[in-house]
Structure 1
């Protein structure tokens, strides 16, 4: 144990920690990691004095939020109510967000405990305006935000290995060690290491390539289901959860249960650099189509992403996010929990794809403005920073198209509970 403590002391944020302590639900972030996009300029908002790590908030007004009167407030209210049981379990003094530590979960708990009857959009709109104040968010003086999308995929699978279904979805192996660094140093609160013990030394856990090559061994390998190909598994790991359709028509929902601790690495970017795909037309569908069309090269390309996600069966009737609550399509968002507490309402604007497309990589033919009140209920490996979000579109083919093509510039506001 003393050797382990020495190793942990050596693994500072300036060293190996930066490699292994990346917070992730998996899930989401397809295109942020897949491509690098040029972002347009947005008008900056004068920051308030409440700043930390470059993030600042300026008081705003609900009537200044684009399309606020037309928003589907009741859906957002119901999404917030899903979060309330988890919110009420938090320490009342725990900060809600990094940029303004004087706002604590106790403030949000009072909102959850309010005795209100909300059954219409109008009542929900009044609820948010009554119990919250809205703030514009900036980072180093810029309000330029970036949003991607994710969805719940549906994949054919079997519970037992059989012809045509030979690729395992794995539960967390028994030898993986998770270390909460905050228990050793409060400055590292929220940071974790994932590794394995080798001669009493903590070493990085196996990479995706290692695991695909059999590094787990029979002792630690725990398949929970089998899918038809590695591409299906790869994108299920990117999304972080999904619905498995079994041969008898029954379904099995699986969700994120652990990871190997290696950072998520884009695979779209090297495909662009190799000239395999065009930056202007890249999408989740285009990447998937390329992988399926190049089976001899697909594994090598997927192994460029060393991150590996483990699953467990999920008995919930809906997709569950990192907060541990059901996600609401188009009203749940994955955020960086280093900046935002789970359960916080956020308001976002962005341009999103609006046309149907095939799975061959065709893109939407136009975009439309999205203005939406969402609840922070999830996270993902590429969701880093205060002005970064992954928008949950739901499930089905339409959601898959929108999620796969969404890489949108936008603006973000946060709704903070009023303090008594």
Structure 2
């Protein structure tokens, strides 16, 4: 929870200046699809992390949220009574998707399970630049007892780090939950963009599935491709996380499939409801809650939608790279304080 509180504090300090400079207050009638969405699920997600919002404007709203009715009309009315929609930044947005993978692994190394995921090294401090991905993959942490588990495939180790959490099914049938514990301080670099730069793919061909396929078909150069992203993520066991709950997000609470979204907290505050208008092949118009962050999620109109757990969620999330618009809902007093001319 210490890391979660630090993220919340940093967001609170930064978000006011970022939003007040480029925000426009809208009405709920301006939100495409607002009347058709069932906001009950979003209200439940909002309630789950509302107690973490410490700014004074949120306190009364959290109390009313706990008393809101259970019908779709009651949930919608709650948001309309206590919030105002703010458009921050300039659309089009960029929406991507992420998920919680389910992978096979082992607590011990074997010829089948030969690729480790690591716990956070004790000497690593927040903000510190540590060994790069290439150095770690080259064995810098080997033999220190930091291995949490061993997986079948280095590509799945890489994508587990991109997702930030996962479920590992052990040979005896037990499932180990793992979550984000820190990173090595190097900037995230997109391997999809690297494939485009190398000329092997066009922008419309790049997806998580395409990257997996290319790396597996080109083992040597494929590993070199993964190492062009120097960022590396460490994990921790989550032994007390119930199987019906989603992974832990940046707020320190479980996130919910198709109702939780990762944002840039410098522009959109963690814990706030976010209205999503995603274009593309499978349009999505619904209310979500900003409960997570990500190394590649930068900017006011940038969001990563959590699709849930398992292969189907991964297939859906891996192909999302769509435009549209995102609108944050803020308490009325806070909205007009940040944008008085609205």
* 2:298 counterpart SS class: coil
Select 2:317's aligned residue among 371, 380, 403: 403
Q: Which one of 66, 69, 93 corresponds to residue 35 of structure 2?
A: 69
Give aligned pairs, total: 316
Report whether the alignment pairs 1:214 with 2:139: yes
Asked if 1 retains the 8 angstrom alpha-carbon contact of 2:85 and 2:327, the reply is: yes
Q: Which residue of 2 aligns with 1:58?
A: 24
Instruction: Tell me, in whole angstroms, the C-alpha distance in 1 between the residues paired with 2:60 and 2:164.
Output: 32
Q: Deviations over 1:308-335 (max 9, x none)?
A: 0000111323211111111111111101
Distance 1:251 1:175, change over 3 A: same
> Structure 2 residue aligned with 1:248, among 172, 177, 195?
172
C-alpha contact 1:51 1:57 (8 A) present in aligned 2: no
How far apart, in 2, do the equivalents of 1:129 and 1:279 lie? 39
Alpha-carbon distance in 1 for matches of 2:234, 2:155: 15
Q: Once the 2 structures are TM-superposed, how far is the Cα of residue 54 of structure 1 from its aligned partner?
A: 8.4
Measured after TM superposition, the shift of residue 177 of structure 1 is 2.3
TM-score, length-normalised on structure 2?
0.87
Whose helix proportion is higher, 1 or 2?
2
- Displacement over 4 Å in runs of 4+: 50-55
Question: Which residue of 219, 223, 226 corresponds with 1:295?
Answer: 219
Deviation at 1:217, TM superposition (A): 4.9
Q: 1:262-281 alignment to 2 at 5 Å?
A: 262-281=186-205
Match of 2:51 in 1: 85
**Normalising to structure 1: TM-score of the pair?**
0.71
Shift of the alpha carbon at 1:232? 0.8
1:131 matched to 2:82? The reply is yes
Q: Deviations over 1:387-419 (max 9, x none)?
A: 111111112233212211111111121111123
Q: Is the 8 A contact 2:19 2:267 kept in 1?
A: no
Preserved CA contact (<8 Å) 2:102 2:311: no
- Please provide the CA RMSD for this pair: 2.0
Deviates more, 1:382-391 or 1:115-124: 115-124
Q: Deviations over 1:71-99 (max 9, x none)?
A: 12001001101112322xx3xxxxxxxxx
Q: Residue 68 of structure 2 contacts residue 78 of structure 2 at CA under 8 Å; is this kept in 1? A: no
The unaligned stretches of length 5 or more in structure 2 are 1-5, 8-15, 335-342
* Distance in 1 between residues matched to 2:171 and 2:116, nearest whole Å: 16
Does the 8 A contact of 1:259 with 1:308 survive in 2?
A: yes
Per-residue CA deviations over 1:13-66 (Å, capped at 9, x if unaligned) read: xxxxxxxxxx99xxxxxxxxxxxxxxxxxxxxxxxxx97488422221112211
